[in-house]
Amino acid sequence: CLREVLAAFRACLTAEQTVLMDPYLRGWNGLIRFLNSLGTIFSFVSKDAVTKIQIMEKYRSSDQRERYETLQTMVEYELASGLVSLKNRGECPESGCRTVLRLHRALHWLQMFLEGLRTSQEDSKTSVICTDSYNASLANYHPWVIRKAATLAFCALPTRNAFLENMNLGTPEEAVDMLGEALPYVCKVYEITEELYAKHKMLDLP
């Protein structure tokens, strides 16, 4: 249920302005379930996202689980233990920091996409909203072949109102209201993570 997905992003935020890992991953898992319901054309996207979520879930069920309780504790722990490579991807291909960075960039896309959906006219095309938000965010980190595959897949998206109805949040108008309520939490999670990564000069982790 997307209501629960949006609630998960709200639950990530603590009074100390840190981001809790478990609701963050719960939110992502819910988004992937929704993505899968849009058709197999998006399998290549969900496969990559699932791999990344599983890497993080593995840390959360390991002996070091407490180090991964929040994004902040993860960054502190991995940097102090030399578990992050700032230059060479091959050295630490599955660090929590680089893995979360990929999800974080995708969260930027999601934020722009949902805002576009919320503020668009009834007759707007979801594929156009999706392509515009992708080009303005995530596409900057993808090679040509992925950008092509992604923009091709976006053409299969249903119309704006059908998409909003698929979200199971009531009528399209009710879904838009719900997005208006929930988006500030997604934005806050994005902002806190962006600041954290900028502070540690990790926004370009290979």
Ligand X SMILES: CCCCCCCC/C=C\CCCCCCCC(=O)N[C@@H](COP(=O)(O)O)[C@H](O)/C=C/CCCCCCCCCCCCC
When binding is defined by CB under 6 A, the residue of 150, 164, 189, 192 that contacts ligand X is: 150
102 counts as binding ligand X under rule CB under 6 A: yes
When binding is defined by CB under 6 A, the residue of 4, 17, 43, 48 that contacts ligand X is: 48
Looking up tokens 């040509």 gives: 144
CA distances from 76 to 59, 88, 98 (A): 15, 20, 13
* H-helix or E-strand spanning residue 164: helix 160-166
When binding is defined by CB under 6 A, the residue of 7, 86, 146, 187 that contacts ligand X is: 146
12 counts as binding ligand X under rule CB under 6 A: no
130 counts as binding ligand X under rule CB under 6 A: yes
# of chain residues touching ligand X (CB under 6 A): 24
Angstrom distance (rounded) from CA 189 to CA 106: 12
109 counts as binding ligand X under rule CB under 6 A: yes
Angstrom distance (rounded) from CA 188 to CA 186: 5
For residue 85, the Cα-to-chain-centroid distance in whole angstroms is: 22
4 counts as binding ligand X under rule CB under 6 A: no
138 counts as binding ligand X under rule CB under 6 A: yes
Helices (H) and strands (E) in the chain, counts: 9, 0
In angstroms, give the least distance from the CB of 62 to ligand X.
20
> Which range binds ligand X by CB under 6 A, 45-53, 58-66, 68-76, 196-204?
45-53
Render the burial of 7-43: b for 16+ CB within 10 Å, e for the rest. bbbbbbbeeeebbbbbbbbbbbbbbbebeeebeeebe
In angstroms, give the least distance from the CB of 206 to ligand X.
8
| Main-chain phi, psi angles of 132, to 5 degrees | -60, -45
84 counts as binding ligand X under rule CB under 6 A: no
35 counts as binding ligand X under rule CB under 6 A: yes
Give contact residues for ligand X (rule: CB under 6 A). 2, 5, 31-32, 34-35, 42, 44-45, 48-49, 102, 105-106, 109, 114, 130, 134, 138, 141, 146, 150, 157, 167
